[in-house]
Amino acid sequence: MGTIKQNRANNILTSGKLDATDGLNNDIPASNIANASFSNVTAYPPSAGAGVTKVASDPPSPSDGQVWFNTTSNVLKQYSLVAGTWATGGNLNTARSYLTGAGTQTAGLAFGGLDGPGTSLSATEEYDGTNWTTSPGSMNTGRHALAGCGIQTAALAFGGNTTVDVGATEEYDGSTWASNPTGLSTVRRFLTGCGTQTAALAIGGGPPFTGATEEYDGSTWTAGGSLATARASSAGAGIQTAGLCIGGENPSPSALTEEYDGSTWTAGGNLNTSRRVLAAAGTQTEALAFGGNTTVVQSATEEYDGSTWTSVNSMSTARSGLGGDGTQPTALAFGGIISGTPSAATEEWTVGLGIQTITVS
Protein backbone atom coordinates (compact mmCIF):
# COMPACT_ATOMS: atom_id res chain seq x y z
CA MET A 1 0.00 0.00 0.00
CA GLY A 2 1.33 3.53 -0.81
CA THR A 3 1.70 6.58 1.41
CA ILE A 4 -1.21 8.72 2.61
CA LYS A 5 -1.06 12.51 2.54
CA GLN A 6 -2.55 14.40 5.49
CA ASN A 7 -3.81 17.99 5.29
CA ARG A 8 -4.70 20.02 8.39
CA ALA A 9 -6.13 23.50 8.77
CA ASN A 10 -4.27 25.79 11.19
CA ASN A 11 -6.90 28.45 11.95
CA ILE A 12 -10.64 29.14 12.00
CA LEU A 13 -12.15 32.00 10.04
CA THR A 14 -14.66 34.44 11.58
CA SER A 15 -17.35 32.67 9.52
CA GLY A 16 -16.63 29.53 11.48
CA LYS A 17 -15.06 27.61 8.54
CA LEU A 18 -11.66 25.94 8.70
CA ASP A 19 -9.00 27.70 6.64
CA ALA A 20 -6.60 25.25 4.96
CA THR A 21 -4.96 27.68 2.58
CA ASP A 22 -2.01 28.03 4.92
CA GLY A 23 -2.52 24.67 6.59
CA LEU A 24 0.04 22.06 7.43
CA ASN A 25 0.54 18.80 5.52
CA ASN A 26 2.76 15.77 5.68
CA ASP A 27 3.07 12.22 4.25
CA ILE A 28 2.52 9.14 6.40
CA PRO A 29 5.12 6.52 5.42
CA ALA A 30 3.85 3.29 3.89
CA SER A 31 5.63 1.35 6.62
CA ASN A 32 3.21 2.89 9.13
CA ILE A 33 0.07 1.74 7.22
CA ALA A 34 -1.35 -1.79 7.58
CA ASN A 35 -3.30 -3.43 4.73
CA ALA A 36 -7.01 -2.88 5.11
CA SER A 37 -9.27 -5.73 6.20
CA PHE A 38 -12.82 -6.39 4.95
CA SER A 39 -13.82 -8.10 8.19
CA ASN A 40 -15.77 -5.09 9.35
CA VAL A 41 -17.49 -4.25 6.01
CA THR A 42 -21.24 -4.70 6.31
CA ALA A 43 -22.25 -3.83 2.71
CA TYR A 44 -20.67 -3.30 -0.69
CA PRO A 45 -21.47 -0.13 -2.63
CA PRO A 46 -23.65 -0.93 -5.72
CA SER A 47 -20.75 -0.23 -8.06
CA ALA A 48 -18.57 -2.91 -6.49
CA GLY A 49 -20.58 -5.85 -7.87
CA ALA A 50 -19.92 -9.47 -7.02
CA GLY A 51 -16.86 -9.82 -9.24
CA VAL A 52 -16.03 -12.39 -11.88
CA THR A 53 -14.26 -15.62 -10.97
CA LYS A 54 -10.86 -16.22 -12.57
CA VAL A 55 -10.12 -19.83 -13.49
CA ALA A 56 -7.37 -21.56 -15.45
CA SER A 57 -9.88 -23.94 -17.10
CA ASP A 58 -13.64 -23.89 -17.69
CA PRO A 59 -15.77 -25.33 -14.84
CA PRO A 60 -16.74 -28.97 -15.54
CA SER A 61 -20.37 -28.47 -14.42
CA PRO A 62 -21.32 -24.78 -14.62
CA SER A 63 -24.73 -23.45 -13.68
CA ASP A 64 -27.13 -21.63 -15.99
CA GLY A 65 -26.09 -17.95 -16.11
CA GLN A 66 -22.63 -18.52 -14.57
CA VAL A 67 -19.87 -16.17 -15.85
CA TRP A 68 -16.09 -16.58 -15.47
CA PHE A 69 -12.76 -15.38 -16.90
CA ASN A 70 -10.52 -18.10 -18.34
CA THR A 71 -6.93 -16.99 -17.59
CA THR A 72 -5.46 -19.59 -19.95
CA SER A 73 -7.30 -18.39 -23.06
CA ASN A 74 -7.78 -14.85 -21.66
CA VAL A 75 -11.48 -14.72 -22.58
CA LEU A 76 -14.70 -14.03 -20.66
CA LYS A 77 -17.15 -16.92 -20.82
CA GLN A 78 -20.70 -17.75 -19.78
CA TYR A 79 -22.93 -20.82 -19.53
CA SER A 80 -26.26 -20.10 -21.21
CA LEU A 81 -28.64 -21.13 -24.00
CA VAL A 82 -26.97 -22.02 -27.30
CA ALA A 83 -28.43 -22.27 -30.81
CA GLY A 84 -30.93 -25.10 -31.28
CA THR A 85 -30.22 -28.01 -33.60
CA TRP A 86 -32.15 -30.88 -35.20
CA ALA A 87 -31.13 -34.48 -34.47
CA THR A 88 -32.41 -37.71 -36.00
CA GLY A 89 -35.12 -39.52 -34.07
CA GLY A 90 -36.84 -42.88 -34.56
CA ASN A 91 -38.74 -43.40 -37.83
CA LEU A 92 -42.52 -43.68 -38.01
CA ASN A 93 -43.74 -47.24 -38.57
CA THR A 94 -45.89 -46.01 -41.46
CA ALA A 95 -44.41 -43.43 -43.82
CA ARG A 96 -47.06 -40.79 -44.51
CA SER A 97 -47.75 -37.23 -45.60
CA TYR A 98 -50.43 -34.64 -44.76
CA LEU A 99 -50.72 -36.05 -41.24
CA THR A 100 -51.01 -34.19 -37.95
CA GLY A 101 -49.95 -34.66 -34.36
CA ALA A 102 -50.17 -33.69 -30.70
CA GLY A 103 -48.13 -33.89 -27.52
CA THR A 104 -44.47 -33.29 -26.74
CA GLN A 105 -41.03 -34.40 -27.92
CA THR A 106 -40.94 -37.27 -25.40
CA ALA A 107 -44.66 -38.09 -25.49
CA GLY A 108 -45.80 -37.40 -29.04
CA LEU A 109 -48.70 -38.55 -31.17
CA ALA A 110 -49.01 -38.90 -34.96
CA PHE A 111 -52.31 -39.70 -36.70
CA GLY A 112 -54.00 -39.67 -40.09
CA GLY A 113 -52.26 -38.85 -43.36
CA LEU A 114 -51.73 -40.38 -46.81
CA ASP A 115 -49.64 -43.45 -47.56
CA GLY A 116 -47.67 -44.08 -50.76
CA PRO A 117 -50.60 -45.36 -52.85
CA GLY A 118 -52.65 -42.33 -51.73
CA THR A 119 -54.93 -44.02 -49.21
CA SER A 120 -56.18 -41.95 -46.27
CA LEU A 121 -54.96 -43.44 -43.00
CA SER A 122 -56.52 -43.94 -39.58
CA ALA A 123 -53.37 -45.35 -37.97
CA THR A 124 -52.12 -43.69 -34.78
CA GLU A 125 -48.56 -43.85 -33.44
CA GLU A 126 -47.11 -42.82 -30.07
CA TYR A 127 -43.54 -41.51 -29.54
CA ASP A 128 -41.61 -42.00 -26.29
CA GLY A 129 -38.63 -39.81 -27.14
CA THR A 130 -36.86 -42.60 -29.01
CA ASN A 131 -39.29 -44.90 -30.83
CA TRP A 132 -42.73 -44.80 -32.43
CA THR A 133 -45.20 -47.52 -31.37
CA THR A 134 -48.41 -48.22 -33.26
CA SER A 135 -51.41 -47.64 -31.02
CA PRO A 136 -54.12 -50.30 -30.97
CA GLY A 137 -56.60 -47.45 -31.28
CA SER A 138 -57.05 -46.21 -34.85
CA MET A 139 -59.21 -43.22 -35.75
CA ASN A 140 -62.79 -44.05 -36.70
CA THR A 141 -62.47 -41.92 -39.85
CA GLY A 142 -59.27 -42.37 -41.82
CA ARG A 143 -58.30 -39.03 -43.41
CA HIS A 144 -55.51 -36.69 -44.47
CA ALA A 145 -55.07 -32.89 -44.49
CA LEU A 146 -56.67 -32.85 -41.04
CA ALA A 147 -55.83 -30.87 -37.89
CA GLY A 148 -55.02 -31.97 -34.37
CA CYS A 149 -54.02 -30.71 -30.94
CA GLY A 150 -53.73 -31.72 -27.30
CA ILE A 151 -51.41 -34.20 -25.59
CA GLN A 152 -50.61 -37.88 -26.08
CA THR A 153 -53.27 -39.05 -23.63
CA ALA A 154 -55.90 -36.41 -24.48
CA ALA A 155 -55.76 -35.49 -28.17
CA LEU A 156 -58.24 -34.08 -30.65
CA ALA A 157 -58.56 -34.73 -34.41
CA PHE A 158 -60.87 -32.69 -36.66
CA GLY A 159 -61.63 -31.95 -40.30
CA GLY A 160 -59.67 -33.33 -43.24
CA ASN A 161 -60.42 -35.36 -46.34
CA THR A 162 -61.24 -39.03 -46.96
CA THR A 163 -62.21 -38.83 -50.61
CA VAL A 164 -64.45 -35.91 -49.65
CA ASP A 165 -64.00 -33.15 -47.09
CA VAL A 166 -65.25 -33.97 -43.58
CA GLY A 167 -65.95 -32.13 -40.36
CA ALA A 168 -65.59 -35.24 -38.18
CA THR A 169 -64.22 -34.70 -34.66
CA GLU A 170 -62.61 -37.44 -32.57
CA GLU A 171 -61.07 -37.54 -29.08
CA TYR A 172 -58.18 -39.80 -28.02
CA ASP A 173 -57.71 -40.97 -24.43
CA GLY A 174 -54.32 -42.62 -24.81
CA SER A 175 -55.63 -45.85 -26.30
CA THR A 176 -58.96 -45.31 -28.06
CA TRP A 177 -60.54 -42.72 -30.39
CA ALA A 178 -64.17 -41.73 -29.72
CA SER A 179 -66.23 -39.89 -32.33
CA ASN A 180 -68.11 -36.77 -31.32
CA PRO A 181 -71.43 -36.57 -33.17
CA THR A 182 -71.00 -32.81 -33.28
CA GLY A 183 -68.52 -32.06 -36.05
CA LEU A 184 -67.14 -28.80 -37.40
CA SER A 185 -69.71 -26.30 -38.64
CA THR A 186 -67.51 -25.60 -41.67
CA VAL A 187 -66.45 -28.86 -43.35
CA ARG A 188 -62.90 -28.44 -44.68
CA ARG A 189 -59.44 -29.84 -45.35
CA PHE A 190 -55.95 -28.31 -45.10
CA LEU A 191 -57.01 -26.51 -41.92
CA THR A 192 -54.82 -26.09 -38.85
CA GLY A 193 -55.45 -26.20 -35.14
CA CYS A 194 -54.08 -25.55 -31.66
CA GLY A 195 -55.06 -25.80 -28.02
CA THR A 196 -56.21 -28.73 -25.91
CA GLN A 197 -58.82 -31.46 -26.15
CA THR A 198 -61.29 -29.32 -24.18
CA ALA A 199 -60.31 -25.87 -25.50
CA ALA A 200 -59.26 -26.05 -29.15
CA LEU A 201 -59.18 -23.85 -32.25
CA ALA A 202 -59.92 -24.97 -35.84
CA ILE A 203 -58.43 -22.40 -38.21
CA GLY A 204 -58.78 -21.67 -41.92
CA GLY A 205 -58.67 -24.34 -44.61
CA GLY A 206 -59.72 -24.89 -48.19
CA PRO A 207 -60.02 -24.74 -51.08
CA PRO A 208 -62.20 -22.77 -51.28
CA PHE A 209 -59.99 -20.70 -49.00
CA THR A 210 -61.65 -19.72 -45.73
CA GLY A 211 -60.77 -17.64 -42.70
CA ALA A 212 -63.37 -19.41 -40.55
CA THR A 213 -62.30 -20.08 -36.96
CA GLU A 214 -64.18 -22.39 -34.62
CA GLU A 215 -63.73 -22.91 -30.88
CA TYR A 216 -64.20 -26.29 -29.17
CA ASP A 217 -65.19 -26.60 -25.51
CA GLY A 218 -64.89 -30.36 -25.19
CA SER A 219 -68.26 -31.12 -26.73
CA THR A 220 -69.35 -28.40 -29.17
CA TRP A 221 -67.82 -26.21 -31.89
CA THR A 222 -68.89 -22.55 -31.99
CA ALA A 223 -67.88 -19.74 -34.34
CA GLY A 224 -64.94 -17.54 -33.37
CA GLY A 225 -63.38 -14.53 -35.07
CA SER A 226 -62.32 -15.04 -38.69
CA LEU A 227 -58.75 -14.72 -39.93
CA ALA A 228 -57.96 -11.35 -41.50
CA THR A 229 -56.60 -13.26 -44.53
CA ALA A 230 -58.40 -16.45 -45.56
CA ARG A 231 -55.94 -19.27 -46.27
CA ALA A 232 -55.25 -22.98 -46.16
CA SER A 233 -52.22 -25.19 -45.40
CA SER A 234 -51.09 -23.03 -42.45
CA ALA A 235 -49.49 -24.19 -39.20
CA GLY A 236 -50.93 -23.54 -35.76
CA ALA A 237 -49.44 -23.07 -32.29
CA GLY A 238 -50.52 -21.88 -28.87
CA ILE A 239 -53.82 -22.19 -27.02
CA GLN A 240 -57.43 -21.20 -27.65
CA THR A 241 -57.06 -17.74 -26.10
CA ALA A 242 -53.54 -17.10 -27.41
CA GLY A 243 -53.20 -18.87 -30.75
CA LEU A 244 -51.05 -18.48 -33.86
CA CYS A 245 -51.82 -19.09 -37.54
CA ILE A 246 -48.54 -19.27 -39.46
CA GLY A 247 -47.91 -19.18 -43.22
CA GLY A 248 -50.19 -21.07 -45.62
CA GLU A 249 -51.49 -20.24 -49.09
CA ASN A 250 -54.18 -18.24 -50.91
CA PRO A 251 -53.23 -19.37 -53.48
CA SER A 252 -49.49 -18.47 -53.34
CA PRO A 253 -47.30 -19.42 -50.36
CA SER A 254 -47.72 -16.93 -47.52
CA ALA A 255 -45.43 -15.42 -44.88
CA LEU A 256 -48.32 -14.04 -42.83
CA THR A 257 -48.67 -14.66 -39.11
CA GLU A 258 -51.86 -13.85 -37.21
CA GLU A 259 -52.39 -13.88 -33.44
CA TYR A 260 -55.68 -14.79 -31.72
CA ASP A 261 -56.72 -13.39 -28.34
CA GLY A 262 -59.81 -15.55 -27.83
CA SER A 263 -62.06 -13.50 -30.09
CA THR A 264 -60.06 -11.56 -32.69
CA TRP A 265 -57.15 -12.20 -35.07
CA THR A 266 -54.50 -9.47 -35.47
CA ALA A 267 -51.37 -9.27 -37.60
CA GLY A 268 -48.10 -10.58 -36.19
CA GLY A 269 -44.60 -10.63 -37.67
CA ASN A 270 -44.05 -12.19 -41.10
CA LEU A 271 -42.02 -15.34 -41.66
CA ASN A 272 -38.68 -14.86 -43.40
CA THR A 273 -39.57 -17.70 -45.80
CA SER A 274 -43.10 -17.75 -47.27
CA ARG A 275 -44.44 -21.32 -47.30
CA ARG A 276 -47.41 -23.66 -47.13
CA VAL A 277 -48.03 -27.12 -45.61
CA LEU A 278 -45.46 -26.42 -42.89
CA ALA A 279 -45.49 -27.48 -39.23
CA ALA A 280 -45.14 -25.60 -35.96
CA ALA A 281 -44.74 -26.04 -32.20
CA GLY A 282 -44.83 -23.87 -29.10
CA THR A 283 -46.85 -20.90 -27.89
CA GLN A 284 -47.94 -17.51 -29.20
CA THR A 285 -44.87 -15.79 -27.75
CA GLU A 286 -42.39 -18.65 -28.18
CA ALA A 287 -43.08 -20.62 -31.38
CA LEU A 288 -41.10 -22.68 -33.89
CA ALA A 289 -42.03 -23.06 -37.60
CA PHE A 290 -40.33 -25.64 -39.82
CA GLY A 291 -40.48 -27.35 -43.19
CA GLY A 292 -43.13 -26.65 -45.82
CA ASN A 293 -43.14 -25.80 -49.49
CA THR A 294 -42.65 -22.72 -51.65
CA THR A 295 -42.05 -24.10 -55.13
CA VAL A 296 -39.70 -26.68 -53.58
CA VAL A 297 -39.72 -28.48 -50.23
CA GLN A 298 -38.16 -26.56 -47.36
CA SER A 299 -35.96 -27.39 -44.38
CA ALA A 300 -35.99 -23.80 -43.07
CA THR A 301 -36.66 -23.37 -39.34
CA GLU A 302 -37.66 -20.10 -37.66
CA GLU A 303 -38.23 -18.99 -34.07
CA TYR A 304 -40.93 -16.50 -33.02
CA ASP A 305 -40.69 -14.28 -29.93
CA GLY A 306 -44.19 -12.81 -30.10
CA SER A 307 -43.33 -10.17 -32.69
CA THR A 308 -40.42 -11.27 -34.92
CA TRP A 309 -39.37 -14.46 -36.71
CA THR A 310 -35.66 -15.33 -36.69
CA SER A 311 -34.08 -17.94 -38.99
CA VAL A 312 -32.20 -20.66 -37.09
CA ASN A 313 -30.63 -24.04 -37.95
CA SER A 314 -32.51 -25.95 -40.66
CA MET A 315 -33.87 -29.50 -40.57
CA SER A 316 -31.69 -32.26 -41.97
CA THR A 317 -34.50 -33.46 -44.24
CA ALA A 318 -36.40 -30.88 -46.29
CA ARG A 319 -40.09 -31.80 -46.59
CA SER A 320 -43.65 -30.52 -46.66
CA GLY A 321 -46.96 -31.89 -45.42
CA LEU A 322 -45.26 -32.97 -42.17
CA GLY A 323 -46.49 -33.17 -38.60
CA GLY A 324 -45.10 -31.31 -35.61
CA ASP A 325 -45.59 -30.86 -31.88
CA GLY A 326 -43.79 -29.87 -28.70
CA THR A 327 -42.33 -26.55 -27.57
CA GLN A 328 -39.89 -24.03 -29.03
CA PRO A 329 -36.94 -25.45 -27.05
CA THR A 330 -37.94 -29.12 -27.62
CA ALA A 331 -39.96 -29.79 -30.77
CA LEU A 332 -40.69 -32.85 -32.90
CA ALA A 333 -40.99 -33.07 -36.72
CA PHE A 334 -42.24 -36.26 -38.36
CA GLY A 335 -43.47 -37.64 -41.67
CA GLY A 336 -44.15 -35.45 -44.69
CA ILE A 337 -43.53 -35.74 -48.41
CA ILE A 338 -40.29 -35.57 -50.41
CA SER A 339 -40.36 -35.63 -54.24
CA GLY A 340 -43.83 -37.18 -54.19
CA THR A 341 -42.88 -39.92 -51.72
CA PRO A 342 -44.20 -40.09 -48.14
CA SER A 343 -41.51 -39.98 -45.44
CA ALA A 344 -41.14 -41.78 -42.11
CA ALA A 345 -38.31 -39.51 -40.91
CA THR A 346 -38.43 -37.98 -37.44
CA GLU A 347 -36.26 -35.13 -36.19
CA GLU A 348 -35.93 -33.71 -32.69
CA TRP A 349 -35.23 -30.00 -32.12
CA THR A 350 -33.37 -29.10 -28.93
CA VAL A 351 -32.16 -25.78 -27.54
CA GLY A 352 -29.63 -26.59 -24.82
CA LEU A 353 -27.17 -24.97 -22.45
CA GLY A 354 -23.54 -24.55 -23.45
CA ILE A 355 -20.35 -22.57 -22.83
CA GLN A 356 -20.14 -19.36 -24.87
CA THR A 357 -17.35 -16.79 -25.25
CA ILE A 358 -18.56 -13.27 -24.50
CA THR A 359 -17.44 -10.85 -27.20
CA VAL A 360 -18.22 -7.26 -28.14
CA SER A 361 -20.48 -7.04 -31.19
Instruction: Assess whether pLDDT exceeds 50 at residue 38.
Output: no
pLDDT above 90: percentage of residues in the chain: 75
pLDDT at 300: 98
Instruction: Assess whether pLDDT exceeds 80 at residue 346.
Output: yes
Which DSSP category does 92 fall into? P
Number of Cβ within a 10 Å radius of residue 207:
14
**Structural domains of the chain, count:** 1
pLDDT at 354: 72
Range of lowest pLDDT (18-22, 44-48, 91-95): 44-48
Query: Measured between alpha carbons, how far is residue 205 from residues 77, 163, 214 in Å?
Result: 48, 16, 12
| SS3 category, 31 | helix
pLDDT at 165: 97
DSSP string, 160-186: -BSSSB---EEEE-SS-EEEES---SS
Residue 22 lies in a domain: no
Residue 68 lies in a domain: no
| SS3 category, 21 | coil
State the residue range of the domain holding 114: 85-353
Which DSSP category does 312 fall into? E
Range of lowest pLDDT (4-18, 79-93, 183-197): 4-18
State the burial class of residue 271 (Cβ atoms within 10 Å of its Cβ: 0-12, 13-18, 19+): buried
pLDDT band at 216 (very low <50, low <70, confident <90, very high): very high
Range of lowest pLDDT (175-179, 210-214, 349-353): 349-353
CB burial of 42-76 (b: ≥16 within 10 Å; e: otherwise) equals eeeeeeeeeeeeeeeeeeeebeeeeebebeeeeee
Residue 44 lies in a domain: no
CA-based max dimension of the chain: 109
pLDDT at 64: 72
pLDDT band at 35 (very low <50, low <70, confident <90, very high): low
pLDDT band at 75 (very low <50, low <70, confident <90, very high): confident
Q: What CATH number has the domain bearing residue 239? A: 2.120.10.80
> How many whole angstroms separate alpha carbon 203 and alpha carbon 217?
15
pLDDT band at 263 (very low <50, low <70, confident <90, very high): very high
